[in-house]
Amino acid sequence: MGEVRPFCQSRTVIHVNTHRFRVGCGSEEAVDTSIMKGFGFEVIKQEGKTGARAGVIHTAHGKVATPVFIPVGTRGTVKAMSPEELKGMGIEIVLSNTYHLYLRPGEQIIREGGGLHKFMHWDKALLTDSGGYQIFSLANLCRVEEKGVTFQSPLDGGESHFLSPEKVIEIERNLGADIIMPLDDCTTYPCSHEEARKSLELTTRWAERSKKEFGESSSQALFGIIQGSVYPDLRKESAKELIGLDFSGYALGGLSLGEPKNLTREILDSTLPHLPRNKPRYLMGMGTPEDLFEGVIRGIDMFDCALPTRNARNGCLFTSRGKIVIKNARYTRDFSPLDPECDCYTCRNYSRAYLRHLFNAEEILALRLNTLHNLHFFTRFLQRMREAILAGKDLSSLNPRNIDK
């Protein structure tokens, strides 16, 4: 939708075929009709010195302020958290995984249960990943062909399954998420230029089939996934081809697979300028605070990663003063809050000493309190970046690298 322009209060909305126009200020202004269908995106403000931008994603289940961190709820739940606790932190969107939900409990059961929103008791926005990465991470159990992917279930290693691009879209229709991702082919790192090219070409052909199968939707949005490993020319080619298919948003996949961080940033720098300004940009599977900062200043709107929840369960906590490994003996008699600058439930009520005791005693409450804090920290970090962009403030003060550890 681009920049938001003011228009006079007295106006009429006119529908012309599939378009609509605001009239009443002396001219007609084209409006993104996707918002009428339940999905849309607005860039509200872009920071002057960098590519950082603040926006809003519109979905049938509410608005999502960007830049945004999306907690990973792989199997229809963010581990250790209730939906009410997530909403209490200000979280507006959650990610679930099509591959895992297809295997258990099955998309038909979820459909019979009223769709994924109702099934998991979540009334805000939902995004479902196709599960392509999960499938290809089990290389010894899968076979990739033009028609799709055949794989053995990791649950028992016996039953064989087949997923085509069309089948994945069908499953995601049944799940009913607001934003859905097509099946893509993921390469390993490192891989040759030729291997990366073949992978992105297959991803593009699958994207075409997915778009055709998707058709038109009154409530869902389909994003394209840019591949090409760490080769800038291939990333540019992938972006160009997917833009030609006119997806509702564009994701960068196939990163955070072991490549050096400076190489990841180079790929962002060389790819993002080729993406349309009026569509959301999604960096898949990356989520350290440093990743978030570097992504935002380059123009990324959406992030997801299992890091904060996984690290929380392993006793690694993110704070305004750096990471804390709570099991360490140095916290035995530390009765200060986990993070003095954090206002989450955990930091308001519990000391480092108590959190250490819970974790070392293997109490379930430790996992819950740790997860709550890490998710709050990540959510609040991007909220502060958004606030700084809107206020026109210098973003460098929020760079995690500047933390005095």
Q: Catalytic site residues?
A: 129, 304
Give dist(CA 259, CA 248) in Å, integer.
Answer: 28
Q: Give burial (CB, 10 Å; 0-12/13-18/19+) of 85.
A: middle
Structure tokens belonging to residue 99 = 């591959």
The 148-152 sheet, strands edge to edge? 142-145, 148-152, 160-163
Q: Give burial (CB, 10 Å; 0-12/13-18/19+) of 194.
A: exposed
Give dist(CA 91, CA 125) in Å, integer.
Answer: 10
| Residue carrying structure tokens 């206020």 | 391
Give dist(CA 350, CA 72) in Å, integer.
Answer: 25
Largest Cα–Cα distance in the chain?
A: 70
Q: Which of 304, 300, 327, 322 is nearest to 375 (CA)?
A: 304
Q: Under a CB-based contact definition with an 8 Å cutoff, are residues 352 and 334 in contact?
A: yes
Q: How many residues does the chain have?
A: 405
